[in-house]
Amino acid sequence: MSTELDPIGYDEDDAVKYIQNYLPQELKGRFSDDEINYVIDIIYEFYEDKGLLDESTSDEDVIDIDEDELIEFVLKNTKKDKLAKFTTEEVTFIIQGELAYCESLNIFE
3-state secondary structure of 86: coil
AA letter at 16: V
- Tell me the C-alpha distance between 16 and 18, whole Å: 5
Residue among 64, 59, 66, 62 at smallest CA distance from 8: 59
Question: What confidence tens digit (pLDDT) does each residue in 22-47 have?
Answer: 999 999 989 999 999 999 999 999 98
pLDDT surpassing 50 at residue 6: no
Contact 23, 93 (CB under 8 A): yes
Q: Which of 57, 32, 34, 39 is nearest to 101 (CA)?
A: 39
pTM greater than 0.75:
yes
Q: Are 82 and 30 in contact (CB under 8 A)?
A: no
